[in-house]
Structure 1
Amino acid sequence: MTPSTQTPRFVDAILDWRPTAHIARLALVSAYLLGAAVKASDFPGAVAEQAHFGMSPPAFWAALTIAVEIVGPVLILTRRWLWLGAGMLGVFTLLAAIKANAFWAMAAGHDRFMAMNAFVEHIGLIGGFVLVALLDRKARAA
């Protein structure tokens, strides 16, 4: 084992492995790609979901959601305008978290706890999008 101020060799090996960054980006956007595939394969269900959350007109919001969930990940995975893809998904995630997980408007209890947990998880994803954009900018500058 190396001193605590140095990264262990096996961690260096993983981080230096060329596919690691791509795999990490894929992991970050995987839920959005899956969500787009599910919504696109059941568009009436996607429209019903938007209606459930009070979005009007629901078909427009369903189509926009599918588009964001496809375009954002593609931009991140291809590293073409990665900052834009990360921004798209970050804003989308924040708006979805506010709309779908408004724990502050719920009575105390299990449902509020679950909504608060989901909201905080979404905030973590937003942090991941900021980090991937920062890392990409640093990699391009190097």
Structure 2
Amino acid sequence: MQPENPRIVAVMLDWPGTAFLARLALTGPYLLGGIVKLADWQGAVAEQAHFGMQPAALFAAATIAVELIGPALILLDRLAWLGAGMLGMFTLLAAIVANAFWTMPISGSEQDRFMATNAFFEHLGLIGGFVLVAILSPRRRHARA
């Protein structure tokens, strides 16, 4: 049998704003990324081209859409599973494209390889957060009903 959370922790976790703030913390970087890319279209296209994504404009538009729609669905807690799936798949693809540490030469910079490895596994952690959003969203709605 697991012990219950300390009272102060239970109060903080039960406060409705906590769930929203947690979802905002998880999705905020994507939302900000989408807004920045939308404001700097040429930079967004150049970023896609840098990573070899062609046609770069199409990938830039898709990235902006995912980075804006996914967080909106999660923050509104409507079709959160879809928003979480969008961002989870996007994060996995981005980790593979941008942080492919397994392709880096062993004889190369140890620092660069370490940073790419660390970033890759950080992205996996974010994916875990999106899975939790998809699991917990319907449970929270059911508990409120």
Which letter maps to 1:78? L
Match of 1:49 among 43, 47, 50: 47
Who is 1:96 aligned against?
94
Who is 1:66 aligned against?
64
Which letter maps to 1:136? S
Q: Deviations over 1:109-135 (max 9, x none)?
A: 110110010000000000000001101
Who is 1:140 aligned against?
141
Aligned-residue offset at 1:32: 0.2
Identity of matched residues, %: 65
Aligned-residue offset at 1:17: 0.9
Equivalent pairs, count: 139
Who is 2:117 aligned against?
116
Residues in 2 aligned to 1:104 and 1:54: alpha-carbon distance in whole angstroms: 18
Q: Deviations over 1:83-139 (max 9, x none)?
A: 000000000000000000000001231101100100000000000000011011222
Who is 1:84 aligned against?
82
Who is 2:18 aligned against?
20
Residues in 2 aligned to 1:45 and 1:132: alpha-carbon distance in whole angstroms: 31
TM-score where L is the length of structure 2: 0.93
Which residues of 2 match residues 4-43 of structure 1 at below 5 A? Answer: 5-43=3-41
What RMSD in Å do the two structures reach over aligned CA positions?
1.1
TM-score where L is the length of structure 1: 0.94
What SS does the aligned partner of 1:7 have? coil
Aligned-residue offset at 1:69: 0.2
Aligned-residue offset at 1:140: 2.9
Runs (4+) of structure 1 exceeding 4 A deviation are none
